[in-house]
């Protein structure tokens, strides 16, 4: 017998003989007892004491993980990162997520089942199980039932294993030497496989590129490209005026830009600022003011901004008594409609930004006309 041995195989003639031998072989505690049979034998898992495969649990966990992942992604995309309303459904409509959750659950679960079985449990890549090169393999695939005592360590006593199997009724004994080359994947093999895949990709890519370049007839799958669609900023003969993009229908209003303060400035006087005076609102107002108003009205609102000299017309001094007495609505109206040489800011500012800057103008005015109580509040 060779020095190192992979396993000792005992050949049996009937499944019953095999089943009877299993307890004896296991009791000897020489190594892992495995059976190789041409077909499944009922009850053999229990006899061999095979542990319940952990695959089911893995699949369940991964399936649930898949469902959670799909839900999380969709929720994050459509409700948090870029809340968008499609088909009149709210941004976080879970109903629409379910099909994708289902798909991803199945994807995770099946991949776990397939790959987990192959790589984790069956220890692929495992080229050529040593038993496949045994003499007994022919019988195993036909009408022989083989019990193997497989070596667990260097100290494996193959002679004792052979004796045990013989005693248990094996009609033939075969000692299987340890394979001279590792049956597992070697780095050399991995490199060659990866290299092969890489070269195949390059060749296929180049072939595709030149094929479509030199033989445009072969252009593959251009249907997406050629669909009759309207392109932004491009001409189109679909519409009479030849433009791809059309003016919105008269009266169209963008979300969050509902027309307000449409009447005269006097009528707007009664508009009430809907925003609460919170630090966020003031911060927003300050940002808008600095970006949009300061160049003309100056940092403190006194009508002296960096542009004032170049601009010609004199921006209003918002600190003047007239504007201290202004109701919020009239300032708002000026922002929306503009006034004389002050342009309308309606296109640039949302409803919220307009009111926030009104609040900020109020704060500027208060800061320049601070009363004693204000100081107390500030220093408290």
CB 361, min distance to other proteins, A: 44
Minimum CB distance to ligand HEC smaller for 30 or for 364 = 364
Minimum CB distance to other proteins smaller for 102 or for 210 = 102
Question: How far is Cα 255 from Cα 267, in angstroms, rounded to an integer?
Answer: 24
Residue 342 binds ligand HEC, judged by CB under 6 A: yes
Residue 341 binds ligand HEC, judged by CB under 6 A: yes
CB 252, min distance to other proteins, A: 23
Which of ligand HEC, other proteins, none does residue 256 bind (CB under 5 to 8 Å by kind)? none
Tokens of 157: 């006593």
Residue 182 binds ligand HEC, judged by CB under 6 A: no
Question: How far is Cα 187 from Cα 67, in angstroms, rounded to an integer?
Answer: 36
Tokens of 282: 């003031």
Q: Are 86 and 48 contacting, i.e. CB atoms less than 8 angstroms apart? A: no
Q: Where are the alpha helices (DSSP H) in the chain?
A: 15-27, 44-48, 55-75, 94-115, 137-140, 158-167, 187-214, 223-226, 265-268, 279-288, 294-297, 308-311, 321-324, 328-337, 351-368, 372-379
Which of other proteins, ligand HEC, none does residue 320 bind (CB under 5 to 8 Å by kind)? none
CA dist 312 to 142, 291, 294, Å?
Answer: 103, 20, 16
Provide the mask over 251-270, with x wherever binding to ligand HEC is found by CB under 6 A and - wherever it is not.
--------------x-----
Which of other proteins, ligand HEC, none does residue 341 bind (CB under 5 to 8 Å by kind)? ligand HEC
Provide the mask over 283-302, with x wherever binding to ligand HEC is found by CB under 6 A and - wherever it is not.
---------xx-xxx-----
CA 118 centroid distance within chain: 26
Q: Which of the stretches 88-96, 150-158, 179-187, 341-349 binds ligand HEC when contact is defined by CB under 6 A?
A: 341-349
Minimum CB distance to other proteins smaller for 40 or for 232 = 40
Tokens of 276: 């609460």
Q: Which of the stretches 99-107, 227-235, 274-282, 331-339 binds ligand HEC when contact is defined by CB under 6 A?
A: 331-339
CB 327, min distance to ligand HEC, A: 11
- Give 342's DSSP letter: B
CB 277, min distance to ligand HEC, A: 16
Minimum CB distance to other proteins smaller for 72 or for 99 = 99
Of 154, 157, 55, nearest in space to 112 by CA = 55
Identify the bridge partners of residue 173 per DSSP, sorted by sequence position: 10
Largest separation between any pair of C-alpha atoms in the chain: 115
Residue 271 binds ligand HEC, judged by CB under 6 A: no
Minimum CB distance to other proteins smaller for 52 or for 225 = 52
Minimum CB distance to ligand HEC smaller for 144 or for 297 = 297
Q: Are 257 and 351 contacting, i.e. CB atoms less than 8 angstroms apart? A: yes
Phi-psi region of 156 (alpha: psi -120 to 50; beta: other; left: phi over 0): beta
Question: How far is Cα 302 from Cα 278, in angstroms, rounded to an integer?
Answer: 24
Which of residues 106, 199, 313, 370 is near ligand HEC by CB under 6 A?
Answer: 313
Please compute, for residue 104, the number of CA atoms within 13 A of its CA located in the half-sphere on the CB side: 16
Minimum CB distance to ligand HEC smaller for 43 or for 312 = 312
Which of ligand HEC, other proteins, none does residue 361 bind (CB under 5 to 8 Å by kind)? ligand HEC
Q: Are 245 and 259 contacting, i.e. CB atoms less than 8 angstroms apart? A: no
Residue 191 binds ligand HEC, judged by CB under 6 A: no
CA dist 301 to 29, 238, 293, Å?
Answer: 93, 51, 9
Minimum CB distance to other proteins smaller for 17 or for 98 = 98
3-class DSSP state of 168: coil
Residues lying near other proteins in the complex (CB under 8 A) are found at 42-43, 52, 56, 60, 87-89, 95-96, 98-99
Q: Which of the stretches 19-27, 31-39, 59-67, 310-318 binds ligand HEC when contact is defined by CB under 6 A?
A: 310-318
The residue ranges that bind ligand HEC (CB under 6 A) are 265, 292-293, 295-297, 313, 315-316, 318, 330-331, 334-335, 339-342, 345, 357, 361
């Amino acid at each position: 017998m060779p020095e190192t041995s992979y396993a000792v195989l005992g050949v049996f003639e009937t499944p019953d003989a095999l089943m009877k031998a299993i307890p004896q072989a296991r009791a000897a505690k020489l190594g892992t007892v495995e059976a190789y049979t041409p077909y499944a034998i009922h009850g053999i898992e229990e006899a061999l004491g095979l542990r319940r495969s952990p695959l089911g649990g893995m699949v369940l966990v991964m399936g649930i993980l898949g469902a959670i992942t799909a839900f999380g992604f969709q929720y994050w995309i459509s409700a948090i990162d870029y809340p968008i309303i499609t088909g009149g459904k709210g941004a976080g409509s879970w109903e629409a997520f379910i099909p994708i959750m289902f798909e991803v659950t199945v994807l995770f679960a099946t991949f776990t089942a397939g790959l987990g079985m192959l790589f984790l449990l069956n220890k692929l890549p495992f080229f050529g199980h040593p038993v496949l090169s045994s003499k007994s393999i022919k019988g195993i695939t036909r009408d022989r039932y083989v019990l193997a005592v497989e070596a667990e360590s260097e100290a494996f006593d193959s002679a004792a294993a052979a004796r045990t199997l013989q005693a248990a009724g094996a009609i033939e004994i075969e000692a299987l030497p340890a394979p001279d080359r590792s049956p597992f994947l070697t780095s050399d093999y991995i490199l060659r496989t990866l290299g092969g895949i890489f070269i195949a990709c390059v060749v296929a890519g180049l072939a595709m590129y030149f094929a479509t370049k030199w033989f445009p007839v072969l252009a593959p799958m251009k249907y997406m490209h050629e669909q009759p669609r309207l392109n932004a900023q491009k001409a189109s003969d679909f519409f009479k005026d030849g433009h791809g993009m059309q003016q919105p229908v008269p009266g169209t209003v963008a979300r969050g830009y509902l027309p307000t303060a449409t009447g005269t400035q006097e009528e707007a006087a009664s508009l009430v600022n809907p925003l609460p005076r919170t630090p966020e609102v003031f911060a927003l107002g300050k940002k808008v003011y600095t970006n949009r108003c300061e160049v003309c009205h100056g940092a403190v609102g006194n009508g002296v901004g960096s542009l004032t000299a170049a601009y010609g017309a004199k921006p209003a001094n918002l600190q003047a008594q007239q504007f201290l007495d202004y109701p919020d609505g009239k300032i708002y109206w000026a922002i929306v409609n503009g006034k004389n040489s002050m342009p309308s800011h309606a296109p640039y500012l949302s409803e919220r930004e307009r009111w926030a800057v009104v609040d900020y103008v109020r704060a500027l005015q208060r800061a320049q006309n601070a009363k004693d109580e204000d100081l107390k509040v500030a220093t408290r």
